[in-house]
Structure 1
Amino acid sequence: MDKLDAMRLFTRIVERRSFTLAANDTGVPRSTVTQVIRQLEERLGVRLLQRTTRTVKPTLDGEAYYRRCLAILDDVEDAEGAFSGAMPKGMLRVEVQGTLARHFLMPALPAFFAQHPEIELSMSESDRWVDLVQEGMDCALRYGKLPDSDLIARQVAMLERVTCGTPEYFDKYGMPTDISSFDGHRMVGIRLISTGSLMPLEFTGGAAHESVMLPATLSVTGPESYLAGIRLGLGIAQVPRFHIEEDLKSGRLVTVLHDRPPPSAPVSLVYPRNRQLSPRVRVFLDWATQEFARKNSPVTTDVSQHHA
C-alpha cells in the first residue's frame, strides 16, 4: 500500500474509531489494516493510535498527523480533480431524512448516475442526528434549524409549512378562526429525539411570532408516524406543504389559519469541516442543491457555506 492510501486508511480509522469499520468502509482486509498502521507507526517513530477493547483513539501525535493527512489528501483530490478527464468516482455515504430524499432527490437519481457512472451511493435513512464523522458519512441532508456544531452547512431550501387536520376532526372540534379559538382542540405531537420535549404549534403574522401548546393524545418522533396520526384525525398538526399535497387535493386534509402560517423550515446539506471534500462529494452537493432549487423556490440563490 502506498503512502497516500495508508494516509486515507489512517484517517478513516480515526474518524470511525474502529479498525473493523474502517476496513469495511475501504474494502481492505482487517489484517491488512493492522499491518499498515504498524508499518506507519514504525516509519514515523511515534505511536499514532491508542487501542482499547472497545474503541480506537488517536494519540496527540496521531491527532497532529491526522490533520496533516487531511490537508495533504485534500490537495491531492484538488490536483486530480482539476483535469477535465478526471471523473468523480467511489463510494459516497449520505445520511438523509427519508421523506425529503424520496420527494426531492430520488426521482432524479437516474440522471445523476448517468452523468456520474463511477459513483456508488450508499444512502442511510434516519430521523436522528447522527455524528457524521463517527459513523463514516460524507454528508447529510437535514430538515429544520441546525444546532451549533463544527459542521459546514449549505442551505438548499426553505419549505412552506401549513396548519392542517382532517375534515372529520374539524367537524367534531370546530374550525379555529384564530389561535385564540383553540379551546377544546388537540394536536398530534412531535417530540425532539435529542431532548424528548414536545414541540408547540407555531404561528407567524399578527403582532408577533406565537407558540401554542395543545394536549396531545399521540406524540411521535418520526415524520411518517406524525402524518399517519394527522390522517387518523387525532388532532391539528403542522407539516411542510409538499408532504401533504395529495391529501389536500383529495380533501383528505384541509388547512386552517392561512393568515397565521407556521414559520418556513430550512433544509440543509451538511458535511464535516475536517473531512477532505472529495470530487464525488462536491458533485453530489451541487446536484442536490440544483434539485431542491428546481422543485422548491429557495429563499436565495446564494449557496455560500456557513457554520452549522
Structure 2
Amino acid sequence: MNKLQAMEVFVQVVDAGGFTRAADNMQLPKATVSTLIQSLEAALKVKLLHRTTRQVTVTADGAAYYERCLRILSDVREAEESLSRTRLSPSGRLRVDAPTGLASEVLVPALPDFFARYPDIELELGSSDRQVDLIEEGVDCCVRGGALADSNLIARRVGFLHFLTCAAPSYLERYGRPQHPNELLRHRCVNYFSSRTGKIFEWDFTRGDELVQTLLPGSIAVNDANAYLAAGLAGLGIIQTVRFVLEPLIAEGKLELLLPDWTSAPIPIHVVYPQNRHLSAKVRVFVEWVAELFAQHPGMRLPKTARALNTEFTL
C-alpha cells in the first residue's frame, strides 16, 4: 500500500462525504478507493469510517487521523511545490469555476497570457450562475461576487463589479425613458433571481445622498446571465447588469444607457478556495494572475468615492 496515496484518498472521502464522489474527484475507480481505505484501516488497526448504504461518516479516531493527514499532506505538497516555485512552472490539472459573464467576457479572452506564463497547467474552467460546492465537486478555486457565506473557505478580494442600467431602443420607443428610479415602478424590468434561494434581487440607485432600493415590477425573471442579457436585447424590459458587458452593446446602439446620473453600489468580487488548497502552487499563481488581471481592468476597479455593497450576486 502506498501510504501517502491512501492518506490522500482518505482525506478526499471525508471531504466529499462518500466513496463515489471521492473516486470521481480523484479520477480513480471506486473499488480502488475502497481497497485503499480498507488497507489503511487494517494497517492502523482502527476503524476510520462508519459506512451505511446511504452515507459515510468519520469516526472519532478517523477525525483525529484526518487532521494529521491534512498537515502531513500539506507539508509534502509544500516540499514538492517549492521545486515548482523555483522553476516558476507549476503543472497539472487546475479546476476553476467562474460566473458565466465574467468567464466569457474577461477571463477567457485573457487566458493566452495565463498559458504563456504557465504552459504546464491544464485548466478546467466551469462557468455557470449557480454557487458550486468546491469540496463536493472537486473544484480548486472559484470566482464569486457578493457576500461570502462559507467561512470555511479562504477568500481574496480581487476587484469590484460595477453596474449600468439600460434598455433596448425597441422598449424605449414603446414605454418611454424613465428620468428617476421611482418612475421604474411604472415600467417593465427584467428581474434576476438567486439560483440558490429563489429570491429576486432588489435594484439599488445612488445619487449623492439619495438612495433608492426596491423590488421592481417585471414580466419575466431569470437566473442566468445570458438569458438576462438576451431579455434586455429583445426589448422585454429594463435591465441592470455589469458595466463591462453593457458598454460594447451601448456603443453598437443595441442598448441605451438610462439614469446616467444614478449609480448602483459596486459589489466586491473574490477568489475563494478550500483551506487545504492554500499551499498549492497552481492555485496560488491563478489567484495572483486573476488579481493582476482585474486590477488592470477599467470595469473592475473601485473608485475612491464609491461605496461597496456586500450582497449576494451571480454574474
Whether the TM-score (by the shorter chain) exceeds 0.5 is: yes
Q: Report the secondary structure of 1:266's partner residue.
A: strand
Matched, 1:282 2:284: yes
Q: Report the secondary structure of 1:152's partner residue.
A: strand
Cα deviation, residue 207, structure 1: 2.5
Q: Report the secondary structure of 1:95's partner residue.
A: strand
Q: Give 2:309's aligned residue.
A: none
Q: Report the secondary structure of 1:209's partner residue.
A: strand
Deviations 1:171-230 (A, max 9, x none): 222221112333521110111122212122211123243213221101011111111111
Structure 1 distance, partners of 2:162, 2:273, is 25
Q: Report the secondary structure of 1:204's partner residue.
A: strand
Q: Give 1:305's aligned residue.
A: none
Residues 1-308 of structure 1: pairs in structure 2 closer than 5 A: 1-83=1-83, 84-85=86-87, 87-296=89-298, 297-299=300-302
Cα deviation, residue 149, structure 1: 2.9
| Count of residue pairs brought into register by the alignment | 301
Contact 1:157 1:293 in 2 (8 A): yes
Deviations 1:107-163 (A, max 9, x none): 232332333233222222221112211221111111233335321111111122111
Contact 1:159 1:267 in 2 (8 A): yes
Structure 2 distance, partners of 1:15, 1:187, is 42
Contact 1:176 1:257 in 2 (8 A): yes
Contact 1:70 1:276 in 2 (8 A): no
Question: Per the alignment, do residues 210 and 148 of structure 1 end up closer, same or farther by CA in structure 2, a change over 3 Å counting?
Answer: farther
Contact 1:203 1:211 in 2 (8 A): yes
Which amino acid is the alignment partner of residue 234 of structure 1? L
| Structure 2 stretches lacking a partner, 5+ long | 304-311
Which amino acid is the alignment partner of residue 35 of structure 1? T
Contact 1:70 1:275 in 2 (8 A): no
Structure 2 distance, partners of 1:73, 1:193, is 35
Q: Report the secondary structure of 1:227's partner residue.
A: helix
Which amino acid is the alignment partner of residue 298 of structure 1? R
Which amino acid is the alignment partner of residue 34 of structure 1? S
Contact 1:73 1:276 in 2 (8 A): no
Q: CA RMSD in A?
A: 2.1
Contact 2:250 2:256 in 1 (8 A): yes
Cα deviation, residue 69, structure 1: 1.2
Structure 1 distance, partners of 2:160, 2:105, is 15
